[in-house]
Structure 1
Amino acid sequence: MCNNTFFDYYRRAIKAKYEIEKEGDYSNNLNPPSLANLRNLCIKRFREAPTKHDLDTFRSFFEFEFDGNKRNLITGTDLNKFRAIGDFFRGETVQPTEDTIHFASILLDFQPRPFNKFKKVMEGKTEEEIIQELAKNYNYPELESHKEETDNIPEIKKDEVTQTQSSKQIIKTEKPPKEKPTVKLNLFGLFKRSKKTLIGTAVIFGLIASTICLLAFKKGCMQWSDNHYELVYCDKPMEGNLNEVILRDDNLLNFKKLIVCDTTTCFKPDGEAIVWYAKTGDKADFFNSNGNGRHPETKRSLRPITEYIKGKYKGDCPTK
């Protein structure tokens, strides 16, 4: 598993790269990031000059080799795998899986990649230093800042007070009059933080901390048991159960392991997968949803099922 801190930097840097690229040379493939548009971009990227690591990532992501001469290389349920990447680009997924991030970096030609190279280059640097490194050595352009809401009021002009309040994001260089200020690439998003925002954030984190403390004395945790999650006391896991105890997540209460056989419905009429899987040794475990994106026992990434995976790892149908 990737180092959480640096992988979070990596994820946010890739998301910021998308905000740049969706207005660039490949805007027709990234804006909007539909399944067909991302597939077409994928074919373009891998026909250019893919590295060995890129090709390995492609094989791991789709479970077949890239063939630039094949016209219909990615179709059907394989095309559906771009859905998670599109959701990530649009900001609809807060914590995408590592596989999604790795493949997204290739589609955007993000540098430095893969993650191990990024970590080696950036390790030991602060976030500000990482931003400077990306801008200096990897051709990240400076982005125009968004105007403050007060800019829409004609009677109020930007004065020294406004400039002082936003000085943390404005590049400290002289600019010609009436020119928009620019800001450096912000991995946390392109918005200006105010005192009210910071206070609100502190209050929210305080409420979360209080909730966690209260749950510690209630049945506010859960633990994977056989094929589903069971609610447990946070300080009292199930006897003999070595699975991780996690905070209660109501979204996981209906998350279950499935037995997939010939008669199991695994796809919607449009081909979208409704069953997810993760390999465990020489077999695969199947689940009724993506859950939190991880196998509850092995922590491996969950992926949408394909016809190939169903045919290879299906089991016997239970007898009535």
Structure 2
Amino acid sequence: MLRKLFTDLFEKLKTEKENDSIKKYGCFNFFIDKILEEKYHKINIVSTKTLANYYNKYVENRKNKAGEPNNELKNLIAKYLGFEDYSDFEVSYKEIQIPPNTNATLEPFTKEGLDTNNENPPKPKPKSFIEKYKKQLVGISILAFFTSSYFIYNNTLKNCIIWQENHFETSSCDDKYAVDNTIYKININEFRKVEVNSETQFFKNGDPLIWYGKSKTGKLEYFNHRGIHPETLKELNPITEYIINKYVFNEEEKTIQN
């Protein structure tokens, strides 16, 4: 049932008019900021990364250390989907169990050519090496396949980066603070943390040139490209006139008066 819960959550978030992202992290970040915190006034009950891990585990069947979401979170998601709580959601989508076929009967086992009157049946032929160790060979083959797949994935598919002062650099995926950039697809050659002031060009032809996000301490920080905040891993928001007036301009420079 958790598979259905997180599938429906993700699909509904992608249809929200105020949500400009169709990616997991963007959608779950929107769910936390706009639904949990602003609509339901629930602060710090779950992180974007944890929601993504739940989705990966229960929907995409990807193994991770995510446990089962607590009842409060399940009830809030169900409420967002239009139900009273998670129990109501379960009842509405309860799967119909097909009863076993009680009319099925077992056919007696027979084998053509079996002579029950033969007191000295022929001795079975000795098994070949492959027949004798078939299970072991299959197990070894499967283990070898997954081992090689793991190394191929680590060496060719993963693209890990790490934050250094004001930019990302390529990094070993074994580093404690490494980030898998195959998820976020950040252009590390251009992505930078920047300082802004009233002379900064924030837009070009109506498109944002600056993105912003809050650090772990709640400080608003600015960046020159879309991406994630290096501390929280939350997706950055494009700059708006409201943010500029509130956090950058002084009273005389404001274009929007309170």
The two structures have a TM-score, normalised by structure 2, of: 0.44
User: What TM-score comes out, normalization by structure 1 length?
Assistant: 0.37
Task: Name which structure has the greater RCO, CA cutoff 8 Å, separation 6+.
Answer: 1
